[in-house]
Structure 1
Amino acid sequence: MKIKKRRDSAYRTPNYARLWSAQVFSSAADGVWLIALPLLVLDLTGSKILVGVISFIELVPLTFGMFTGPLIDSLRKKSILYLCNTGRAVIMILLAVLSANGLLTVWIIGVCAFCLSLQSMLFSPAKVALIPLLVPQKHLDQATSLINTSELIGLIVGKLISGVLIAAIPFGLLFFINGTAFFVSAVFIAFIRISESAGLKSKGAEALKTGYRMLKSNSSWMTAVGYFFIVNLVIAGFISVMGPILAVERFHENYSVWFAIMYSMFQGGMLLGNLAVFFKWNTKRLERLYPRTLTAVGLLMMFLFFSLNGLECAIFLVLGVIISYIDVQTVLYFQKTVPTEYFGRIFALIFSIVKMGEPLSAAAYTVLLVVMDADYIFLAVGLTLTLTFFILSVRQGMQRDAGKKANQYF
């Protein structure tokens, strides 16, 4: 009798299954606090400016990316994951207790947002670094893809849950539930069975200097980094600062639900952008991609000047697709052009430069809120992007045509 051999796959590896389960709870819990904290600030103060300040504080840890590589290489990855989620569970329970007793202030929320973001920033690369230790090499692509997809889905679900629950239960109870989710994630991580020794101390400073010299000497890389920085400068603050304000001004009593939907639509768009690349809808002309897509981003932002009766969600979805597509295409470009032996140090430097645009974005939108209404910010920023990058795209086309004519002449 012939026995059918069971197919070996990544998700049938017990340790990987535990990591995947931990990721699901962790990303959903991240989605909850990303929605809840700015809305809590609005609820406590009614200040749009303070929402921007909290968003800026929350995004600052993203600029520490260049230091995470050496740290993660020198410590046990499982320990980093466990400590991050245990720490986030403690912070959420603390917020729950303070909220229930009416003791929360904006600055306590700011400190907690900074710590939550810092731990999230450490959790993600440590998780990716742990995957090759848990699954066979032949299943590495499948395992990494499944983790990334579940992370995006978890964020979407968490944000939707957060928006609904904010309208139904007190913030304190919401934070307690979220802290429990982080604790459950930490328990899954604790049960991962792996023999992992601490890595050697990394020469991070020397590696970064080498990466900087290589990056500076390549004009194509610098151009890609510059555009990538602009994308983050435009979008990060738009989502974290202008998103909740748009929800409050357009949807009033149901603002928490609508903000969660808009944020989730943006994440859903990012998932679609990833799938576009997965199905080979990619580009070989990155220099054309940036001006055209940033022109489209500007046009979409200009539409938000008008009250669209819920169609704002569709704009957030399309923006998510565009931004995700740009992100993935840029990473693929560097993967194909940077020498393998230098990829870690150069990408850590690129990541840090690009991520600096995110807190700057939150600060810029906050300053704009001081001098003009939100609707006019959408119009002004959108018009600036549209004109700037449409003109640049046209100039590129004229230069290509001139180059073709010159080649034909010779």
Structure 2
Amino acid sequence: MNNQVGSLKEDSTSDSIWSNKVFSYFFLASCISLIGNSMVTLVLPLWVMKLTNSPILVSGVNIAIATTAILFAPVTGTLADRMSRRKLMIMADVMRCIVMIIIAVIAFYNKMLYIPLLLLLIIRSIGSALFTPASNAALVTYVEEKHVQQAITLRQISIQIISVAIPLMASFLISIFNFHGVFMLDALTFFISFLILMKIKFPRELKIEKKKPFYEEFKEGFSLLKSNQSLKMLLMSAAIINLLGAACMLSLQVMVVREMDLSMQWYSIVFAASPIGILIGAFITKKIRTYKTITTAFICTAIMGIFNAAMGTTLNPVLFSVYYFLSGIAFGVSNVYFGVLYRKLIPNEVQGRFFGFLSSLLLVSTPVGIAITGYFLESISASILFIIIGIITFLVSVISFVMINKK
């Protein structure tokens, strides 16, 4: 039975992506790996804070994780175009599993070995940087073109469900297993993902006839973006919109406290509005098919900007939540279509490098957006900033759409 799993291929006569057994197994592995990755991102800083009571040391943990991912994503993206993407993901799961077992042992003895912890987290972050571009680039090697949109939709839905569920799961699991138990569960998720990946093979795995020197292929990734104006515009617009998204989140946190003075119950309602909207937006893309992927993606981004601006026009928590929810729907739809667009425009043999650069850009843009927003929130209201963010989002989407269509 196990031997059959590796040779399973997609039934091209079926309209359901679930008939593709390789996708089904890989989707399960990705979800399990994402649960582990998301859980430790939330729980580990809490553990460090509990033992040290030092915000500086907690920020050091976050900086170590983020900086490593930013620096290594382009490098690991290049590796994903030179090696078996499945093997890279297996390697990433092994690295992260071993690291989390060691951290669980440290937590069990209630020790805070800060420098060794930072080194372990750097190794773990390298593992995540290996997994992400390889996972994104591998999609077209096991999913047929007619099912790409469906696959991206399901991935987006799973990401949103996990992002909503993890905070609830984490607090519940900490209360039962303590921190070291949660870290062991985290290691277990990577081990299960490893076992699943060992059982499958991608039908159209990338084959490299003749490898060029690593540095030459790394430079080719930059050359690709430099020569292809459409890809360059897509990357820049993604980075700017991600920066604006980070600005939106900080403005939201300030607005509900400083300007709306909401109760704790309303915090939950407001913060849940967008994730639920994104989830519904992703579900919507399952029901519709579009041949104008670029148009749909940028129109929905522009609509998101309109609703973000509308959020700055009201202090009514009900209306504010409705606008945030509708903004989430628009983002959910656009995010799926951008994922489809990337895979249509970018040749399979360079997708690893593209997703590596994209991941690095998005990681850089988030803290930049937060820093800039924090500075402006000292002197202007969050309501005004929401309007500015919405207008800029709308303009970026329109300008990017026009420029890409010209190319």
* TM-score bin, normalised by smaller chain: 0.5 to 0.7
**Structure 2 spans left out of the alignment, 5+ residues:** 1-12, 400-407
Query: Conserved in 2, the CA contact under 8 Å of 1:237 and 1:358?
Result: no
What's the secondary structure of 2:80's corresponding residue? helix
Return closer, same or farther for 1:211/1:129 CA change in 2, 3 Å cut-off.
closer
Q: 1:291 to 1:236 in 2, by over 3 A?
A: same
Q: Name stretches of at least 5 consecutive residues in structure 1 with no aligned partner.
A: 1-6, 397-410
In structure 1, the partner of 2:31 is 24
Change in CA separation of 1:91 and 1:314 when aligned onto 2, cut-off 3 Å: farther
Question: Matched residues in 2 for 1:251 and 1:173: separation?
Answer: 35
**Which deviations, in whole Å up to 9, do the C-alpha atoms of 1:300-321 show, x marking residues without a partner?**
4787xx7969x99877755543
Amino acid of the residue matched to residue 40 of structure 2?
W
Verify the 8 A CA contact 1:40 1:171 in the aligned structure 2. Answer: yes
Matches within 5 A, 1:27-176: 27-44=34-51, 54-60=61-67, 61-62=69-70, 64-104=72-112, 110-130=118-138, 146=154, 149-166=157-174, 169-176=177-184
Give secondary structure in 2 for the equivalent of 1:73.
coil
Q: Which residue number in structure 2 is paired with residue 296 of structure 1?
A: 307
**How far 1:67 moved relative to its partner?**
3.3
What is the percentage of aligned positions where both structures have the same residue? 17
Higher Cα Rg: structure 1 or 2? 1
Q: What SS does the corresponding residue of 2:295 show, helix, strand or coil?
A: coil
Change (3 A) 1:320 1:32: farther
Kept in 2: contact 1:233–1:358 (CA 8 A): no
Question: After the TM superposition, which residues 273-292 of structure 1 pair with which residues of structure 2 at under 5 Å, given as runs?
Answer: 273-278=281-286, 279-280=288-289, 284=295, 290=301
- Structure 2 residue 212 is the aligned partner of structure 1 residue 208: no
Paired residues of 1:277 and 1:328 also in contact (CA < 8 A): yes
Q: Which deviations, in whole Å up to 9, do the C-alpha atoms of 1:277-319 show, x marking residues without a partner? A: 442487727666655533533554787xx7969x998777555
Find the aligned partners of 1:377 and 1:106 in 2 and give their Cα distance.
39
User: How do 1:231-270 and structure 2 match up within 5 A?
Assistant: 231-236=241-246, 267-270=275-278
The aligned counterpart of 1:385 is: 389
2:237 equivalent in structure 1: 227
What is the distance in 2 between the residues matched to 1:102 and 1:356? 36
Q: Secondary structure at the match of 2:110?
A: coil
Q: In the aligned structure 1, how far is the partner of 2:172 from the partner of 2:107?
A: 19
Measured after TM superposition, the shift of residue 83 of structure 1 is: 1.6
CA spacing shift, 1:230–1:147, aligned 2, 3 Å: closer
The number of aligned residues is 374
The TM-score with structure 2 as length reference comes to 0.67
**Native 8 Å contact 2:81 2:349 kept in 1:** no
Whether the 8 Å contact between 2:281 and 2:328 is mirrored in structure 1 is: yes
For the 8 Å contact 2:152–2:340, the answer to whether it is kept is no
CA 1:351 to 1:232, structure 2 compared with 1: closer, same or farther past 3 Å? Answer: farther
* Residue 364 of structure 2 corresponds to residue 359 of structure 1: yes
Preserved CA contact (<8 Å) 1:91 1:116: yes
Q: Offset at 1:71?
A: 0.9
- What is the Cα deviation at residue 93 of structure 1? 2.0
Q: Is the 8 A contact 1:67 1:204 kept in 2?
A: no
Query: Partner amino acid for 1:100?
Result: F
Q: Deviations over 1:87-146 (max 9, x none)?
A: 212222222222232323666555555443432332234335555655778766656655
Deviation (angstroms), 1:160: 3.2
Q: Tell me how large the CA RMSD over aligned residues is.
A: 5.0
Shift of 1:352: 2.0
Task: Give yes or no for contact 2:33–2:193 (8 Å, CA) kept in 1.
Answer: yes
Aligned-residue offset at 1:166: 3.6
Q: TM-score scaled by structure 1?
A: 0.67
Contact 2:149-2:336 at 8 Å conserved across structures: no
Letter in 2 for 1:175: F
Verify the 8 A CA contact 2:93 2:194 in the aligned structure 1: yes
Q: CA separation of 1:80/1:283 partners in 2, compared to 1, >3 Å: closer, same or farther? A: closer
Partner of 1:170, secondary structure, is: helix
Q: Within 5 Å, give how 1:303-322 maps onto structure 2.
A: 320-322=328-330
Deviates more, 1:173-182 or 1:18-27: 18-27
SS at match of 1:104: coil
Q: Distance in 2 between matches of 1:134 and 1:148?
A: 18
Is the alpha carbon distance of 1:299 and 1:169 closer, same or farther for their aligned partners in structure 2, counting shifts above 3 Å? farther
> Pairwise mapping of residues 174-185 of structure 1 onto structure 2 (< 5 A)?
174-185=182-193
Shift of 1:263: 7.7
1:62 and 1:355 in contact (8 A); partners too: yes
- Letter in structure 2 aligned against 1:365: I
